[in-house]
Structures are given as structure tokens and as C-alpha cells.
Structure 1
Amino acid sequence: MDASLKKGKGEKNFGGNVMHQVNGLFDKFLSPQQTSVLPVQATQKPSSSLLQSRWFRLSVVFYIVFCILMASAHFSAWILFKGKQGFTSIDRLELERTYDADAAYSLMSTMTPGLKFSKLFSKAQYDALKYTQPFWQKAAQVPEPSQVTFIVTTTPKTWKDLTQFAKHWNGPVSATLHIASTQKQQLKTILAEYQSTPELFDHVDLHLVETPQGIEKTASILIPLNVERNLARVFARSNHVSDIPVHTLIATNIQQTLLKHAAEYTELLRRGDMLVIPTFAYNEHAHIAARVPQTKKELVGLVENEKVLGLYDGRFALNGGPTDFEAWKIADDLYKVTQYTMEYEPIVIQSKTVQPWCSERFMDKRSACLLSSYLAGNDFYVLPNDFAVQKPNNQGTAVSDLDSVIEKRLYAKFYWEQCVYHGRQLDALGLWNSLKSNHIRQQCSRIIQNWGRGLIGKPE
């Protein structure tokens, strides 16, 4: 017991000695001894009570010790790692993520669908786009980059046409399914058929578009068909795409043709040119054939001898359009379309990334999708041995008579606008006097003289 008392007393004396030394150091620092020849007054000015505080002096000591330790640690680290890690210039500095590097994160992930799609498709209505679902159903097979993905717009009413097209084509398809908010039961039926049909399940990507009234009676002003075409093209999973009406059937093996002429055709598509798939339609007096012709020879016989089919170029009379049936009949190689007009809207294979997008100001105007490309200097080349057959469409157009008049007037103004726009672009690129501007010179000479005088080419 005496030993423990002595030990405690010794520790107390040691702590007291340390504090005494610290106090002595502070006293010397605060009141250094000075020698003076003058007499010193007996009374001195009292020091500050804070400086005389025991706890204040301890905190200062601890702070000094802490600073010494931190400085020693940093200095040691600098000595040990010097030379292993050089100075990084601001140009080579890479900013590191402030979140989990393994997590798939993007600012796009936090945006609402309506916000994203209203920027992508500025002519569509924001509230309608909120219910758009890309890849509502995703095809099981991933297409090869060199394959052609057909772009299709469909509704519950034309769903059977899409099913028939998919079975006949048996290749990649990117389709929009436009439904009304009240068609939930029909959507379940479509889903069941999609999952039970191998040609659909394996090859067709379905992007769901939902609006309050759908598109059964009239074309949707909220989300025009040209917007749907762009939507399907954005999410196509190959490098080449082709916009095709849903009631059209591909009669030949186009994929085999592209593989056979891969180098030539891929180069044409890469530079912006388009491959035309000649499309044939039944005339209004013909009975629907039991089968689709599979060869060019068989097809020519149905056109010339039985006269049940004709080369269809949209608004032109059968066999009277720019694709030129007489030229196609004898062609063995690609040939260029030379009689283009602004109403020409063939089915074409084109690059997904190079071509201009469909103008979304139109509810349903396929020719507007091709006009910009042609005025930019790109050509149409017709495939000599491949073709498609369009089934009779008894459902009529979804565009009302009033909307047709509005579209026609808008398209005339759009044509003038595109002439000046692409003319100025070619001029800015230094291509106005090159072969690239031949199309716009032929199509737009009068318009440019009126609208672009002094703006395009040399001032007159």
C-alpha cells in the first residue's frame, strides 16, 4: 500500500514538474528578462489572465505538437515518393468520377422520357412523348452492323400486316406501335402474339407510342408519323436502314445482294447515296394474287403480260415514275435515277448516320425525308434484281382532306426553304461549283435566283 502511494505521488510530481517547465517557458516568452541601467519600479503591469490560464497553455502546446507531426508526415511522404509521381499538367489531367465507377450512371438516366424526347423530336407534343417507351419489346437476336433494318410504323389495326411482313422478311425490324390510351386490352393481345411468333420475337424491336386518341381515325398531330420514323431510325441496331410501308412485302433476298456487292454498295451508302428497292403494286382492277412473285422474270411477266402489277412510285401513275420500269426491266447493274421530282418517295436503303432526318413538321410525308438528301448532292441508285410488292391498302390514309391541303402547301414552302438552305451550305463548304451542287442547280435555279441572289455563289 505504501508502494502504491509512493508511485501515485511520483506520477503527480512528474506531471507537476512538466507543467512547471511549460509555465516557465511561457513566462520567459511573455516576460523576457532585460537588464537596464535605470531603476525598475517595484510594481509590474499584471499579465493577461488568459495567457496565465493553464488550459490555454496546454492547448497551445498540443497545437504545436500536432503541427510538427503533420509536417513531418507530409515531408516524409514527399521524400519517399519523390520521382515516382511526376507533375501532371492541366492539359493531361483526368477528372475522376465522384461516384461508384462500376455503376452505370448518366445524367440522361435522371431525365424524364418527356424531357429527353421533346428535345430529340421538337415538333412532337411534350405530354404525348411522356408515354413513349423505346424497346418496349426487344428482339432476341442482335443484327449484324452490315445488315439492313427496316423501319415500320404500325397500329393495332395494322398489326397483322407487320406480322406478315416480319414472316416474309425474317430479318431485323425497328417498328413503332402507336396505340390509344384506351387500348390496353389490345396491347395485351399484341404482346402475347409477339412472344409466341418466332419471326417477331427474334427480329422485331417494338417501340411503344401512346397518345390519348391513337392514330386510328386521323394522323396524330401530337406525334406525327415522320416523328415515329425518326424514332424507329434512332433505335435501329444496324448501320443501314430502310423506311417501308407496313403493307409492303420484300420479295427477294436483299441481304444476300448486299453481301455479294458489299464493297461497292457500302461505299455508296457511306458517302450518302441511296439504293432504291423498286416497288410494285396491284392495279385497281386486278385480283389479289395468291402468291408474291419471287423472280424478276416472273414479275416482268405479271407487269407486261397479265398487267396485274405496275411499278409504283407514290403519286405517279403505275410504270410512270422516276424509277423507270423500262430501264429496270433490262438492267443488270445499278443505274442512277435521272428524272427526280420533289414528290418522289421510293423505298430506299440508306445509311443510318449519314442521311438527314425526316422533317417532323409533316404528319405523313415520306418524300420530305428524301428531298433534303437529294438537294445535298446524294444520288438514287436502283437495285437491278431486287424488288418489293405492295399489297392493296383498303384502310385508306390516316391524313384527313384538310390536313392533306395543309401538308401540300407546307411542302411547297419547305421545298423553297431547303433549296436556299442547302445552297448556302454547299456554298459555305466551297462546293457550289462542284459536281455536288448539280442537283440543287437543276431543281432550284429559279428559287435561288429569287431568294438567294447575292447569297449563294458570286454576287450578280
Structure 2
Amino acid sequence: MLLFPRLSQILQFLLIFYVSIAVLYTTNYLLVSPLRVGLSILVNHPMSPFSLWAFFINPSPKKDKRHTEARSYNLDPRFLQFSGGDTEWKSSTVALEHGLGHAEPILVEEELSLSKAFSTSMRPSKVIPYFYRAAGRFDQDDITITTLVTSSRFQAFSRLVERYQGPISVTIHVGNTTTEIRNLLKSLRVLYTTSRSMAIYVDVHLVIDSFDRQFNTWRNIARLFARTDYIMMLDVDFFICTDFRTAMRKSWHIMSQLREGNTAFVIPAFEYIKYADGVDHSGFPKDKRTLLGLIKSKRLGMFHASWAPGHNSTDYKRYYAAPPGDVYEVTQYHSAYEPYVVFKKDGPPWCDDRFIGYGGNKAACLFEMYISGISYFVLADHFIIHQSHRYEEAARRNEESNITMVPKVLICGEDASDLSSLRITDLSQGRMVWAHDDVQRLLGDITEVVYLDSKNRSEFLAAFQPGGKYSDVVGIYRENGSADILGVFDKEIINGLSPSVKWIAHNGAGYDPVDVHACIARGIYLSNTPGAVDDATATTALYLLISTLRQYSIAERSLRALKWKPAGLSAKTHDITGRTLAILGLGGIGLRFAELVQAFPMRVIYHSRRKVEDAPSYCEYFENVEEMLAQADVLSLHVPLRAETVGLMGEKWIRALKPGAIIINTARGKVIDEEAMIRALEDGHLSSVGLDVFPNEPEINPRLLEFPNITLLPHMGTENQDSQRKMEVRALQNLRDYFTVGMGKDLVIEWRNAKKPHL
């Protein structure tokens, strides 16, 4: 009977105990904890009277201990964990798995550990992270602006903070003298006490040393102590015109790419043409439509247009034409590219803090990210504008004068011994043959031009070795005639070029004499000269078409032998009008040829890798090659020579042509299986061929000379001074474009399709 009263007492006791615990927890949660946090903020906040009083009593800087909360930073191969002013150095898991390192953490003074974290900078530097720590709380998927500020730019920085209204991690450098430190801290205190946004959003990290403009070190510090997963590297004097931050966070696709860590998003940068227009940010455009109007009126333009390689890869023409919401990839990256980008904080390489001073430090940082596998995409709805201010021009010019060199261009033109018939006395200029005056016009003001004087291939390669006369060459102009001295630009030559070589401008539409894959592997751009050869090559094809259909070559040889028309010739010839011309490869030359034959007219059918969207209406596309060949009276080849096109016109496709068809080739000799073609001529399946190119030029298969019904030319496609000058000028223009805007317009297709060069 006593069992139940005791059980009742136990239950009552447990109930009272539970209620007591609940009351204590609720009291702590609702009253004590908020009061403690509030008092802490009141005492520590830079705007509080307690903090101000403490500053004026003792103005010497004291480190804000709030930065010592538990937080890990992956500085391979160790982890730094801040705790109470000391740092725990821990060996990585990989090291421990291999029997290396130390299992227990080692306590090291925080100042020492921070000096090691940035040990490749000029040092010794005193790094004080979170000298001020923002009171706001930030989502991990937010975007922190990381930037650098000097005391002279505090006003611009304040505008950036007020405009962004989001997390900012800033590195502030101060010289290592008592006066400089005292003055900066007073200015910094004023900045914080006059801006509520500053106290909510901005983490300040101090760097105290005697070294100036260690920009990459300062960038790394701001990035290391950013408190969100994503950051934007931005200069303090830019005005944020559009809300890219909100737009990005609302886009599932963009955030997914950021999380993967392989993408950086570019916010295009602009500046006013006139200095005065860019001083007052209140009149800056806030939407793209207004921006485009200012660009059209030539009030705004690309940021730092005077140094186009810095931002040209953004492809501003595409940006202007992009539809709303468009995000497009940067496809022509230049090593000097230095856009303003949003990317994942952890993962991409850190900036190399050996770069100091003006010129190349940020570009080097972003280029290292690029070659590590980061792809750059442009947000076509958004933009930032530079606020006009006076640079420290004296310091900038002084530093840049010490690092700026005039790039050197090597002209590998025709063998000078072949130019005597042109009566050119200056053989160094004569190697350009026709455009020698244009060399100075296009390159003379921006490069040092030198001319090939090597006597053979081995001497040429030796000159690219360290200390050699070509060891600092950046651009190379290549003429096919140089092969008489050097041979083709195969893998041996490409790999033998000095690391300074960045661009080879090949003179010719076909570029098979240059190993493009070796160029890509070395990071050497290669251009050709399409367009410049279109007219000349198309008219050569037209001549071959007329000659083979009408058998004019037989008639001419008969007349030269003092004979009249050969008997029965009319039975072997045809009119041109109404015949069907098939074009394999409707590029620039193929299109021009199609245009020319409309004078008769002819029916034009074609096949390319894909349908040419802007092809004229009289060009009929065939997806199936053999169906096209079956309808062709004449087939004209206009495909480039690559590994996959060698022997492209082989036995199968030749036999797919209707009996009595004709083949015209002004492309490259090796795209036809020559033996299969000869067999088709012998058995009459082909009535004729018109050839301007051969597999082993200048040698020609003697069996071809046995066919009186074919027309042969010794590669006359561009053999006229007008076309050759256009080709030379276009090759030179590619070099000029590279040096002035960062990219030539005729980059070959293999390079354009290369996702990432192997540099």
C-alpha cells in the first residue's frame, strides 16, 4: 500500500525539478543572455561612449579580441586556429597518415603565425586581423567585398560601404612610425563613429610595416579573414551601379557554379571619358539602358581603355548586345586581364605576394586562377563605374618605367636571295616583299622590329636560348617562304622558342605549316589571314572550273603546238550555265566562289560541319555528304588541312560523285587521296580535275602529267601582289591587335575551341 504514495512523491519531485530547469533556461535565454550581449556590444562598439572615453584616455591601439573566436583557416599544409591570442599549429591529415608532422597541436604566438602565413611578402609585417570587427551577422552564402584602403581613400571607401550595404573585409596599411599609426587610427575612429553601416558591415585588418604597395599581400589578408563563402575583389574607388549581389544570390544556377568553385563572375567596369564627369557618383547610371546611352554618346567607355589588355577579354561588344539576363563565358583570355570578379573564397589559388607595386600584381593573381581551371563568366546585366580621382602619378610612372620594356617582334619573311628580281636594295625590308612600309606603320610605334638573319634551322633555334639575339622576342611574323631556311614550324621549333614568345602571326589562310597543338601546349597564340585570300583563291577556283568544263587547257596546248582545235573536243566539254556546283566547306573562300558562279548562273549546294546561318539563299545545305556528291557536276574543295581532313576526299566519296564529275582543289593537296583520284581519272569516273595544290609541293606526281584533260597550276591561288600585300598587312595587324588590345581577331579555330591552354 505504501508503494503508490512513494511513487506519487517521486513523480511530484521530478515535475518540480523539470519546471525549475525550464524556468532557469527561459530566464537565461530571454533576459540574461540578451543583457550580456547588449552590454558587450555597448562597451566594445566603437561608437559607444565607453569606447570613445577609453580611446581618448589611452589613444594607443589595442587589438580587438573579438577576432579570437574559434575559426579555422586552411593554409596548406597546416590549419591555423585562433584561440585567445595564441595559434594552434596542427599537422594536416595527409601528413599524419604518412607518419609526418605532430599529432598534438603546438601553441605559437599569433603574431608569429601571421608572419608565417604571409612569409613570401617583404616582411617583417605586423598583421592585426579584425582590428574592428563588424557587428552584423552574415549568411555564409553572402558575398564579401575584399579591398585595400589607404587613409587618403577613406572618403571613397565610405561611399562604397554605404552603397553596398553588405559584408566588407578591408586591409588598411599604415607605416611603422608612431605618428603615422596615431594619425591613421584617429582617422579610422572618425570613419567608424560617423557611419552606422561601417560598424555593421566592415571588418578592418591592419598591416603595420615600412613597406608600401604590397597589394597582393593585402588582398590575401582581406580574403583570408572574410567571413562568407564568396568574395569579390574590388578596388575602393568603384561605384556599384547595379545590385549584382542580390541578383546572384537569387539565381540558383549562379550560386551552384559558385559553390562548385570553378567559376568566377565578372562585373564589367567602365569609366567616364572626361575626368570631371566621373567625380560626382550621384549622376552615375543605375541600369544598363542608361549606361548604353552614355556609351553611345561617347561619355562613358571601357575602364582603362588606354591599356586594353587589362579588360578587353570581357568582350564589351558582346556585353552591349547581350539580352537581359545573359551570362556569357570569357573565351579569349589575355594574361594581362584584370577584371573585378566574384568567386569562391576557398579553393582558388592565393595571390602571389611577391608581386609588389603597380603593374601586373592583380593580373598575375587572376591569371593563376585561370590556369588553375577557373572559368570566367560575364554578368551582362551588371556594371560598376570608376570614380575619378588623381592617382599617385609620380610613384606609378616611376615604378612602371622600371618594368616596362618595348616588346620585340621577329619578321620571318621570304629568303632574301629570292628577292633580287624585285630590285629591292634593303633586303631586311624586302623580306616582307610588299608590305615593308606597313611594318613601321603598324608596329614601329609599339614594338622593336628585328628581321630574320639566321642561316639555317639550328642557328635559328640557338638564337632563342637565354642570352640569344631572339631570346626576348614576343611576337613572330611567319611567311611560308621562310621554310626555305627554317623548314616548317613543327613541334621542334615551337618547343625551342623562348618563353617570351606569345604570338605567331602566320601569313596564309591555311596554317598547316605550323604545329597548332604544340602552340596551344606552350600557350603561344596562332593567327592566320582568312578573308585576305578569299578573292584571289575564289577566282583561281573559277578559272579551274571554266578550264575543266570547257577543256581550255587542251585547246591552248594544241595551239602552242601550231595546231588548230583538236578533233572531237566538243564531245568532251560542257557549258557552265545550269550546272550544279557542290562546295565542301562553305567558309570565306567557298562563299566568295558561290557568289562568283551566280554570274552564269550555277546551282550551288554545299556541306559544312554545320549549316551556315547567314549563307545566301542560293546556297542549298546538305547534311549528308554523299547525297550532295551524287548531284554534283563539279565538286570544289575548301576545307583546311588538319589531321582529320587528310585524305578526306577518298575512294568512297570520289565514287559517290556522279560519273563524269569534276573535282576542283584550291585548298590543300593532302585533303584528296591522290591515288584514288588517279584511278578515277584512269577509268573515266572523273572526267577532269583542276588542281592548284599538291600533297608534296613543289614536287608533283608525274602520273598527273599523263592526263591531257586536266588543268594543273603551281599553287597560284594568291600569287598576285594585291592579295599578298593584303595577307602581309593582315598578319601584321594581328600582331598589332595583340599588343594594343590583347587579342588578334584571326586566332585559329583550334585555339578558339581550346577550353584551357596548358601553360
Q: TM-score range by the shorter chain?
A: 0.5 to 0.7
Q: Residue 316 of structure 2 corresponds to which residue in structure 1?
A: 325
Q: 1:362 to 1:157 in 2, by over 3 A?
A: same
Instruction: Report the CA distance between 1:336 and its aligned residue.
Output: 1.0
**Matched-pair contact (CA < 8 Å) for 2:148–2:170:** yes
Which of 378, 385, 405 lines up with 1:382 in the alignment?
Answer: 378
**Matched-pair contact (CA < 8 Å) for 2:269–2:303:** yes
Which of 118, 124, 127 lines up with 1:121 in the alignment?
Answer: 118
Give distance in 2, aligned partners of 1:318 and 1:356. 22
Instruction: Report the CA distance between 1:204 and its aligned residue.
Output: 0.6
Q: 1:300 to 1:118 in 2, by over 3 A?
A: same
Amino acid in the other structure paired with 2:223: R
Give distance in 2, aligned partners of 1:193 and 1:104. 27
Amino acid in the other structure paired with 1:366: K
SS of residue paired to 2:183? helix
Amino acid in the other structure paired with 1:116: S
Q: Residue 175 of structure 1 corresponds to which residue in structure 2?
A: 170
**Matched-pair contact (CA < 8 Å) for 1:282–1:308:** yes
Q: Deviations over 1:271-314 (max 9, x none)?
A: 32110000111114663354221000011111112x22112267
Q: How does 1:140-179 map to 2 (within 5 A)?
A: 140-179=135-174
Instruction: Report the CA distance between 1:255 and its aligned residue.
Output: 1.9
* Greater share of residues in strand: 2
Instruction: Report the CA distance between 1:192 and its aligned residue.
Output: 2.9
Give distance in 2, aligned partners of 1:174 and 1:259. 19
SS of residue paired to 1:157? helix
Question: Does residue 1:226 correspond to 2:216, yes or no?
Answer: yes
Q: How does 1:164-313 map to 2 (within 5 A)?
A: 164-180=159-175, 181=177, 182-183=179-180, 184-212=182-210, 215=212, 219=213, 224-268=214-258, 270-284=260-274, 287-288=277-278, 290-305=282-297, 307-312=298-303
Gapped runs of 5+ residues in structure 1?
Answer: 1-101, 421-437, 448-460
Q: Residue 344 of structure 2 corresponds to which residue in structure 1?
A: 351
Give distance in 2, aligned partners of 1:398 and 1:353. 37
Q: What is the RMSD of the two structures over their aligned residues, measured on CA atoms? A: 3.5
392-401 or 278-287: which moved more?
392-401
Q: Deviations over 1:404-430 (max 9, x none)?
A: 355558xx99x99xx99xxxxxxxxxx
Instruction: Report the CA distance between 1:113 and its aligned residue.
Output: 4.2
**Matched-pair contact (CA < 8 Å) for 2:310–2:339:** no
Q: 1:167 to 1:439 in 2, by over 3 A?
A: farther
Give distance in 2, aligned partners of 1:318 and 1:185. 39
**Matched-pair contact (CA < 8 Å) for 1:374–1:439:** no
Question: Does residue 1:396 correspond to 2:412, yes or no?
Answer: no
Give distance in 2, aligned partners of 1:173 and 1:374. 24
Give distance in 2, aligned partners of 1:319 and 1:366. 10
Q: Residue 458 of structure 2 corresponds to which residue in structure 1?
A: none
**Matched-pair contact (CA < 8 Å) for 2:115–2:127:** no
SS of residue paired to 2:198? helix
Q: Residue 520 of structure 2 corresponds to which residue in structure 1?
A: 441
Q: How does 1:67-106 map to 2 (within 5 A)?
A: none
Give distance in 2, aligned partners of 1:279 and 1:211. 32
Q: 1:284 to 1:103 in 2, by over 3 A?
A: closer
TM-score (norm: length of structure 2): 0.38
Instruction: Report the CA distance between 1:442 and its aligned residue.
Output: 6.7
Instruction: Report the CA distance between 1:323 and its aligned residue.
Output: 1.0
Give distance in 2, aligned partners of 1:300 and 1:318. 22
Amino acid in the other structure paired with 1:232: A
SS of residue paired to 1:151? strand
Give distance in 2, aligned partners of 1:110 and 1:439. 51
Instruction: Report the CA distance between 1:163 and its aligned residue.
Output: 0.6
Give distance in 2, aligned partners of 1:403 and 1:335. 36
Instruction: Report the CA distance between 1:121 and its aligned residue.
Output: 1.0
Q: Residue 316 of structure 1 corresponds to which residue in structure 2?
A: 307
Q: How does 1:404-443 map to 2 (within 5 A)?
A: 404-405=400-401, 441=520
Q: 1:321 to 1:195 in 2, by over 3 A?
A: same
Instruction: Report the CA distance between 1:264 and its aligned residue.
Output: 3.4
TM-score (norm: length of structure 1): 0.61
Instruction: Report the CA distance between 1:209 and its aligned residue.
Output: 1.2
Which structure's relative contact order is higher, taking Cα pairs within 8 Å and 6+ residues apart?
A: 1
Question: Does residue 1:336 correspond to 2:415, yes or no?
Answer: no
**Matched-pair contact (CA < 8 Å) for 2:122–2:354:** no
Amino acid in the other structure paired with 1:309: L
Q: Deviations over 1:194-235 (max 9, x none)?
A: 1331111110100011124x64xxx3xxxx111000000000
Amino acid in the other structure paired with 1:352: K
Count, aligned residues: 314
Instruction: Report the CA distance between 1:385 and its aligned residue.
Output: 0.6
Q: Residue 41 of structure 2 corresponds to which residue in structure 1?
A: none
SS of residue paired to 1:322? helix
Q: Residue 72 of structure 1 corresponds to which residue in structure 2?
A: none
Give distance in 2, aligned partners of 1:120 and 1:440. 37
**Matched-pair contact (CA < 8 Å) for 1:138–1:204:** yes
SS of residue paired to 2:307? coil
Give distance in 2, aligned partners of 1:161 and 1:298. 23
**Matched-pair contact (CA < 8 Å) for 2:275–2:388:** no
Q: Deviations over 1:14-36 (max 9, x none)?
A: xxxxxxxxxxxxxxxxxxxxxxx
Instruction: Report the CA distance between 1:169 and its aligned residue.
Output: 1.0
Q: Deviations over 1:365-393 (max 9, x none)?
A: 11011111211232110001111111113
Gapped runs of 5+ residues in structure 2?
Answer: 1-82, 90-105, 406-470, 475-494, 500-516, 527-759
Q: Deviations over 1:28-78 (max 9, x none)?
A: xxxxxxxxxxxxxxxxxxxxxxxxxxxxxxxxxxxxxxxxxxxxxxxxxxx
**Matched-pair contact (CA < 8 Å) for 1:311–1:318:** no
Give distance in 2, aligned partners of 1:398 and 1:339. 33
Percent of residue pairs identical: 26
Give distance in 2, aligned partners of 1:274 and 1:257. 15
Give distance in 1, aligned partners of 2:380 and 2:247. 10
Give distance in 2, aligned partners of 1:377 and 1:234. 21
Q: Residue 107 of structure 1 corresponds to which residue in structure 2?
A: 88
Amino acid in the other structure paired with 2:271: A
Amino acid in the other structure paired with 2:315: D
SS of residue paired to 2:343? strand
SS of residue paired to 2:265? strand
Give distance in 2, aligned partners of 1:156 and 1:188. 10
Give distance in 2, aligned partners of 1:143 and 1:163. 20
Give distance in 2, aligned partners of 1:178 and 1:257. 33
255-264 or 355-364: which moved more?
255-264
